[in-house]
Amino acid sequence: MGVSLRGFFISRMIQLVVTMFIVSVVVFFILRLSGDPILVVAPDFFSEEQIEQMRKFWGFDRPIGEQYLNFVAKAITGNFGTSYLAKRPAMELVFERLGYSWMLAAAAAAIGLTIAIPLGILSALKRNSFVDLIITSLSSLGTAMPSFWLGLMLIIVFSVHLGLLPVFGALEPKAIILPSATLGVGMAARLSRMTRSAMLEVLNQDYVRTAHSKGLMHKTVVMRHALRNALIPIVTVFGLQLGWLLGGSVVVESVFSWPGLGRLMIDSISVRDNTVVQAGLLFFSLSFILINYAIDVIYIILDPRIKFQ
Amino acid sequence: MTMATTQSAQQAKDIAIADLPARRSLPLQLLSILLKSPVGVAGSLIVTAVVLLAFVGPLISPHDPLNRNIRSRFKPPGFVDQSGKVYSLGNDQLGRDILSRIIAGSRVSVLVGVISVLISGTIGVIYGLISGFVGGILDSVLMRIVDGLLSIPFIILVIAISGVVGAGLSTLILILGFTGWITYARVIRGEVLKVREMDYVMAAYALGQSRPKVMFMHILPNVVASAIVLAAVQVGVTILAESSLSFLGLGVKPPTVTWGLMLSDGRQYINSAWWMTLYPGIAITITVLGVVFLGDWLRDFLDPNVRGRA
């Protein structure tokens, strides 16, 4: 771990800060897209004067630049303002739900990887065979399917007809099965395609041919030489698909009434509780950025070609 | 990677040359290439069918998609009413024919898919073109902005914006159009960086052509193929986004018929009327599948450089 590795971390940190700055600008201005944010929350019977007072109270009478700086200054200390509806800090509401969202995303990612990696490898090894055709077709089908619809169909089969699993909420441990399977299948469809291409690329490399010509067993070549190298692009793609997973979870949480951050956001949108929407949006992006940052670091550590002096 | 790419590019060239008898017109040539790929055929058949439905839907629709009939509420698929009319996919909670509503819903999917992608594609291509062509500090700034925007999951961004701005078909099309461009910017910029160094660009400069002319006349045409491939993928993504938003009540509003709204109705009666949920979902899946297939074929056909992933 020399100077360059530290340099790498520092440059990535700077990038992280820049990215967060842009996200914060977007999040801040989204609230202003509707025009006057006060009119959105002020009850109809308020007089001009009362609205003016409210505007002052929330700081909406200040110049826009100042408002943004205030927003950032507060956000850095974890203060996103008070929920108009719950009359509690938006941050508190977000933290209550964050755990559920992470739990769901982790379960879905685990399901996705467990299905996608073996199928992707099989598909690549049996390229252009009947098995490959079946796997790639299923993967296309899974990509084309709206995740929330798959969730609804699972509810019809497993809850309505078979009565095996609960439909709503997170009251019992097995309630996570349907929502995580819904997202996991979508994730698997996307990842298996990537695993297949990563594997195919690696199988064409000279070192794999060398390993074969050394007389190594096919299985050894695949597991030791090919898969280990294919894992690197798979890890990267996994990070990119996390955006899909987080986005999909917002809709799927609503289908299953899973008490995560996504459902909090949707509920807050419908009652125009914009501080919570802002905080939710920022936290989703932050999770996405941090996980991808972690993946970048893992990638650098995994890939022996990148050497630090 | 490079070797595989060159190889596949060479293969593609060989196929293209072998497939192009000199005397046929371009549309016929394209057709003959298309017919060689089952995926391409399936994709274009599905897409053509959906687009046709969107245009001539009202002419072939078995019933009025908005016509309510309290007496035939929740009738299962294959229901025949007293006058002998068949409701092949059943009825919804207001007695409306599901098949007719699926046909009517194709219009929104096509509209949203096509217009949003046109908007986002145009913005994204111009953005990427400028960023890659001008380079320097402007390029770094523009790309950092793209990085920042990419770190907000697409559907969550769209949900937040439509939640604040409000719902409706045209609003939704604009929102999807003005957020979807981010995907193109980075890819197009990468392509521009490659094309910029080509000999023919140098030659254009040497002939004394102005920078804007080089950018639009020589570089743009050579990145259009990648943009079309991306656009095909984005049509699918956009149709899925529309259905999710309408399903959540943040997209298109009734009485406009959309597949997402039909699913939202279906969800409320999921315990009793499964057909309300099953069929609109199949419609979305088949449509997006068609677009994905067509996109895959276009990628192989137009853009052998991206083929490494196939």
Alpha-carbon distance B165 to nearest alpha carbon in chain A (angstroms):
5
A262 vs B contacts (CB less than 8 Å): 156
pLDDT at position A180 is 92
Yes or no: say if B242 and B112 are a contact pair by the CB < 8 Å rule.
yes
Residues paired with A89 in a beta bridge: A82
Lowest-pLDDT range of A187-191, B107-111, B145-149: B145-149
Spell out the residues 6+ positions from residue A89 whose beta carbon is closer than 8 angstroms to its own: A79, A80, A81, A82, A83
Enter the tokens of residue B226.
Answer: 């990648």
Give burial (CB, 10 Å; 0-12/13-18/19+) of A84.
middle
In order, the DSSP letters of A231-245 are HHHHHHHHHHHHHHH
Question: What is the C-alpha separation between B16 and B26, in angstroms, rounded?
Answer: 13
Q: Biggest alpha carbon distance in chain B?
A: 79
Please state the pTM of the whole predicted model. Answer: 0.85
Measure the CA–CA gap between A183 and A150, rounded to whole angstroms.
9
Q: Alpha-carbon distance A12 to A297, whole Å?
A: 10
Whether B246 has its CB under 8 Å from any CB of chain A: the answer is no
Q: What is the pLDDT of residues B178-218, one digit of tens each?
A: 988 988 898 899 889 888 888 888 888 888 888 888 888 88
Do the beta carbons of residue B225 and residue B139 sit within 8 Å? Answer: no
* Sequence-separated (6 or more) residues with CB below 8 Å from residue B54: B106, B107, B109, B110, B111
Specify whether the CB–CB gap between A105 and A246 falls below 8 A. Answer: yes
Q: How far apart are CA A151 and CA A258, in angstroms?
A: 12
In which band, very low, low, confident or very high, does the pLDDT at B285 lie, cut at 50, 70 and 90?
very high
Using an 8 Å CB-CB cutoff, list chain B residues near A33: 161, 164-165
Question: What is residue B148's predicted lDDT score, i.e. its pLDDT?
Answer: 84
CB B296 within 8 A of CB B5: no
Helix (H) or strand (E) holding B87: strand B86-87
- At residue A164, φ and ψ (nearest 5 deg) are -85, -35
The three-point CA angle A254-A260-A263 to 5° equals 35
Q: State the Cα–Cα distance between residues A83 and B108, nearest whole angstrom.
A: 35
Band the pLDDT of A119: cuts 50, 70, 90.
very high
Closest of A55, A6, A34, A15 to residue A269, by C-alpha: A34
The answer to whether A263 and A104 are in contact (CB under 8 A) is: no
Q: Which of B156, B267, B278 sits opposite A246 (nearest CB)?
A: B156
Pairing of strands B79-80, B86-87: antiparallel
Q: Which residues in chain A have Cβ-Cβ distances shorter than 8 Å to B291?
A: 144
Averaged pLDDT, A175-196: 90
Residue B297 forms contact with A (CB below 8 Å): no
Beta strands in chain A (DSSP E): none
With contact defined as beta carbons under 8 Å apart, do B100 and B64 qualify? yes
How much is the pLDDT for B304?
53
B257 to chain A nearest CA, in Å? 17
What percentage of chain B exceeds 70 in pLDDT?
90
Count other C-beta atoms under 10 Å from residue A309's C-beta.
Answer: 6
Interface of B with A in 50-69 (CB under 8 A): none
Q: Average of pLDDT values for A267-271?
A: 83
| Residues of chain B contacting A251 with CB distance shorter than 8 Å | 155, 244, 247-248
pLDDT digits (tens, 9 = 90+) for A21-75: 888 888 888 877 766 666 666 667 777 787 777 777 767 777 778 888 888 888 7
Across chain B, mean pLDDT equals: 83
Q: Do B4 and A201 touch (CB under 8 A)?
A: yes
Distance, in Å, from the CA atom of B248 to the CA atom of B155, rounded to the nearest integer, reads: 12
CB contact under 8 A, A243 and B154: yes
Q: How far apart (Å, rounded) are the C-alpha atoms in residues B196 and B222?
A: 10
Question: What's the CA gap between A266 and B249, in Å, rounded?
Answer: 10
| Residue B274 CB contacts under 8 Å (≥ 6 apart), including other chains | A156, A160
Kindly report each contact of residues B86-93 with a partner whose C-beta sits within 8 Å and lies 24 or more positions away, as own/partner.
B86/B62, B87/B62, B87/B63, B88/B62, B89/B275, B89/B279, B90/B273, B90/B275, B90/B276, B90/B279, B92/B262, B92/B265, B92/B266, B92/B269, B92/B273, B92/B276, B93/B265, B93/B268, B93/B269, B93/B273, B93/B276
Residue B216 DSSP one-character state: I
pLDDT digits (tens, 9 = 90+) for A54-65: 777 767 777 778
B167 touches chain A (CB under 8 A): no
* A132, A135, A140, A143 alpha-carbon torsion, rounded to 10°: -140
